[in-house]
Amino acid sequence: MKTLVEAVNDGLHTEMKRDASVMVMGEDVGTLGGVFRATAGLRERFGSDRCVDTPLAEAGILGTAVGLAMAGFRPVCEMQYDAFSYPCLDQLICHVGRYRWRTGGAMEFPITVRMPYGGRVRAPELHDDSPEAYYVHTPGIKVAIPSTPADAKGLIAAAIRDADPVVVLEPKLIYRTARGEVPEGEHVVPLGKARVARSGSDVTLVAYGAMVAVAEAAAERADASVEVLDLRSLKPLDEGALLESVGKTGRAVVVAEAPRVAGFAAEVAAVLAEKAILDLRAPIVRVTGYDVPYPYWTIEDAYLPSPGRVLAAIGKVMAF
């Protein structure tokens, strides 16, 4: 049994052992092993040239990673927190997602960006964001979000091995509370494959990251038979799994903790509206954060999707 953050650590160890071109870089990832200890032990095992404590500069981390990729490395960049990753968006949008295209597809940029994300950790502002929409919206970038320890290890491995840049968002709320069996040795969860976390026949809850557990908690309490689909990859999106589940249940509730407007839940709803309209027996409902700055922690629980809010949405689609 491993926690989710231990599984991330396991994945990094395994991939660095497997491929000498993999290097981990970021703020405090070396001697300290990361503020969440996701990179603990890497420096001792692989040395300070492969587990690099960088200057405090997120755009510099991702920008130098572009150059390191050009020199033949597979950089794995840690952004210390979700909202501290915003300075790196300049590099991500202007270069990381474009450079392969700019070379006519000749050059690969196998860069992984990983970061703890999400709320409910009782932290000051800008330690709680769900920035996935910025990343998903950037062409050339893939995005994965695990919700279990095994998937955390497997998606990290898939991201590192992928020829394209991949952002892995790790739900920090469940870093130490999500525990589970994690395969020993090499373990890859392919990008673009969703997971049915719970089977049901009346309504599909679509979720990812820490919201999978919220969806599961709501499913436990619902009167209806609820299926929970853990997307695991936002891009590529497993549209087949999404359409199959909603084709079966005819109802969909999308749960995400990011603000609602133009968030990833809207993309899921749009896909269902375009491709599953005849399967739907009720409008697609979103349960998300609100279109406000992430609140102070004494009121953050009111902002985040809760089992109660998800249950209300289930009631709505069942009653339609």
Partner 1 sequence: MRASMRVEPSPAMPELRRVIGDGDGHPDGEVEGLDDAGLLALHRSMVLLRTYDERSVTYHRQGRIGTYAIYWGTEAIQAGSVHALDDGDWVFPSYRESAIGLLRGMAPATILAWWRGHPAGWWDPRERHVASICVPIATHVPHAAGLAWGLRLRGERGCAICYFGDGATSEGAFHEGANFAAVMHAPLVLMCNNNQWAISTPLEAQTRAATLADKAAGYGMPGVRVDGGDVLAVYDATRQAVQRARAGEGPTLIEAVTYRMAPHATADDPSLYIDEARVAEERRNECLARYEGYLRRRGLLTDELAEAARADALAAMREGIAAAEALPAPDPALVFDTAYADPPPELMAERAELLRLLAEEGR
Give the active site residues.
127
142 binds partner 1 (CB under 8 A): yes
Query: Other CB atoms closer than 10 Å to residue 245's CB: what's the count?
Result: 24
Count of residues touching partner 1 (by CB under 8 A): 46
- 289, two tokens: 């954060």
Nearer to partner 1, 241 or 253 (CB): 241
Residue 3 beta carbon to partner 1: minimum distance, rounded to whole angstroms: 30
- 99 or 294: CB nearest partner 1: 99
Q: Which is nearer to partner 1, 164 or 186 (CB)?
A: 164
In this chain, which of 1, 104, 277, 278 binds partner 1, going by CB under 8 A? 104
3-state secondary structure of 121: coil
When asked if residue 243 is in the footprint of partner 1 (CB under 8 A), the reply is no
Please report whether residue 94 would count as binding partner 1 according to CB under 8 A: yes
Alpha helix positions (H), the chain: 4-18, 42-46, 58-70, 89-91, 99-102, 132-136, 149-161, 211-221, 239-249, 264-275, 300-303, 307-319
Which one of residues 41, 236, 293, 308 is an interface residue with partner 1 (CB under 8 A)?
236
| 22 part of the interface to partner 1, by CB under 8 A | no
Q: How far is the CB of 262 from partner 1 (least distance, A)?
A: 18
Tell me the closest approach of the beta carbon of residue 295 to partner 1, in angstroms. Answer: 29
Sign of CA dihedral 38, 42, 43, 49: negative
161 binds partner 1 (CB under 8 A): no
Tokens of 5: 């953050």
| Binding-site member from 128, 132, 162, 216 for partner 1 (CB under 8 A) | 162
> How far apart are alpha carbons 275 and 262 in whole angstroms?
19
Measured distance CA(320)–CA(224) in Å, rounded: 13
Among 26, 30, 33, 97, binds partner 1 (CB under 8 A): 97
Cβ burial, residue 67 (10 Å; 0-12/13-18/19+): exposed
Read off the DSSP letter of residue 86: G
In the bound state with partner 1, the residue whose beta carbon lies nearer, of 276 and 287, is 276
Spatial separation of the C-alpha atoms in residues 302 and 210, rounded to whole Å: 16
Per the DSSP assignment, residues forming a β-bridge with 53 are 26
* Calpha distance 303→288 (Å, rounded): 8
- Could you give the string, one character per residue 53-72, with x where binding to partner 1 holds by CB under 8 A and - elsewhere? -xx-x-xx-xxxxxxxxxxx
Residues of the shown chain interacting with partner 1 in the complex, contacts defined by CB under 8 A: 49, 54-55, 57, 59-60, 62-73, 87, 90-91, 94-95, 97-108, 139-140, 142, 162-164, 192, 235-237, 239
